[in-house]
Structure 1
Amino acid sequence: MKHLICYLDFVSPYAWLAFARMPEVLQGLSYHAEYRPVLLGALLQQNANPGPAGIPAKRAWTYRHVSWLGHAHGVPLQMPARHPFKPLPLLRLALAHGQDGAVNRFVAETVFRHVWEGGQDALEPGRLDALRHGLAGQLNSQADEETVKQWLRSNTQQAAQAGVFGVPAWEVDGHVFWGLDGLPMLRAYLQGDAWFERQWEACAGVESGLG
């Protein structure tokens, strides 16, 4: 059975789409998924990447694209009232309901739905209180505020060291797969496609033509 580490940030609509589609795309395969929240902004900053929201025309395209993808794949997705927003409260809330920096699928899905269903403000205090109430049964009483912060820092550092530059991303056997459209490639790897032995390293070894 393969072990997948799934890196996610609730601010990313692509992470929500991939999270929702993952069980269907990987159906029938033997794997165990470990969900680890990370701070996407820190990963982008490390790579001097402004992200889609940092380019006005790309921001508009991204919101149209993800809304259409939700429609096309049957995944509920309405843009929240404000986006991007600072996801720290949601990341820390999720981790407070996890273990050792990982959260289970129920916790991740509950937070994702809080953001991406209904088109409301993801950080509105009353809604955050309702989210905490909905997750109360999953609360880790031993995860104090500093522990949660450390888990998030550690997850983000671990992701960066693995070569993760954005979310959603999956790490398995030292291989990193990125993005919603990376799911079929991940499936092929888990099925033992021989392409990976022949081409994975060769593709990364192409010489850069930039100065």
Structure 2
Amino acid sequence: MKQIRFYLDFVSPYAWLAFERLPEVLAGLSHSVAYQPVLLGALLQQHHNPGPAGIAPKRDWTYRHVGWLGHAQGTPLQLPARHPFNPLPLLRLALACSDDGHINRFVAGAVLRHVWQGGQDALDAGRLAALGTELAGQLRPGQDNHGAAPKALLRANTEAAQAAGVFGVPTFEVDGKLFWGLDSLPMLRAYLDGDAWFDAGAWDAVRQIPSGLTPDKG
């Protein structure tokens, strides 16, 4: 059985699209998926990456792109009333349902749908309360999104992702290999199916290619 780790942040529309498509991609394989919430902003900051929302034309394109991808994939996707937004309340609520930093598919799906279906404000207090009620049966005893344990789990998850080389979400890790983005899912499936390309050295060879850019001396 292959163990797959799915790094996600609920603020990412691509994470929602990948979440919905993943069962189809993995159909017929013996596998397990560990859903690991991380703080995307910290991953981007580590590499001085403003992310799509930090570049105005790219932000517009990203929203058009994910809208079309949702339409093409058959996945309902409506942009929330405000985006980007601070995902910490959602990440901590999800991790209040965890003992080890991983959440189950029910929790991940509930939070993703909260953000990406209906076009409402993801941080609206009434909606957050309703989401908390939906997840009440998953909460660990004495936990909520204001507790110390979910904050510690999120920090540990994000630091582990950074140490593993994760730079964005969604990212899938299997056998120490990282597959980034919705469009990496066919590549992930090919690896899991034993595609010979992965044994031919191409995966590691890219690290040996020198950069043609020189540091700016100012």
TM-score by length of 1: 0.98
> Which residue pairs with 1:59 in the alignment?
59
In the alignment, structure 1 residue 21 sits paired with structure 2 residue 24: no
Deviations 1:108-138 (A, max 9, x none): 0000000000000000000000000011111
Choose the corresponding residue for 1:204, options 203, 207, 210: 207
Residue aligned with 1:36, SS: strand
String of CA shifts for 1:150-195, please: whole Å, max 9, x gaps.
Answer: 1000100111111100000011111000000000001111111111
Matched, 1:177 2:179: yes
Q: Output the amino acid matched with 2:195.
A: D
> 1:51-98 CA deviation, whole Å, 9 max, x = no partner?
000000000000010011000000010000000000000000000012
- Please give the secondary structure, in 1, of the residue aligned with 2:98: coil
1:37 counterpart letter in structure 2 = P
Shift of 1:203: 2.3
Question: Which residue of the partner structure matches residue 148 of structure 2?
Answer: 146
Shift of 1:105: 0.2
Query: Aligned letter for 1:3?
Result: Q
The change in CA–CA distance for 1:81 and 1:206 in structure 2 (over 3 A counts) is same
How much does 1:204 deviate? 2.8
- State the match for 1:98 in structure 2: 98
Q: Which moved more, 1:93-102 or 1:114-123?
A: 93-102
Q: For 2:34, what is the secondary structure of its paired residue?
A: strand
Structure 2 match to 1:7: 7
Q: How does 1:52-201 map to 2 (within 5 A)?
A: 52-141=52-141, 143=143, 145-198=147-200, 199-201=202-204
**Structure-2 separation of matches of 1:194 and 1:206:** 22
Letter in 2 for 1:209: G
Letter in 1 for 2:151: K
Matches of 2:199 and 2:153, distance apart in 1: 34
SS of residue matched to 2:3: strand
Task: Find the aligned partners of 2:211 and 2:69 in 1 and give their Cα distance.
Answer: 33
For normalisation by structure 2, the TM-score amounts to 0.95
Q: Residue 160 of structure 1 aligns to which amino acid in structure 2? A: Q
- Partner amino acid, structure 2, of 1:196: F
Root mean square deviation, CA, Å: 0.9
Q: What is the Cα deviation at residue 142 of structure 1?
A: 5.2
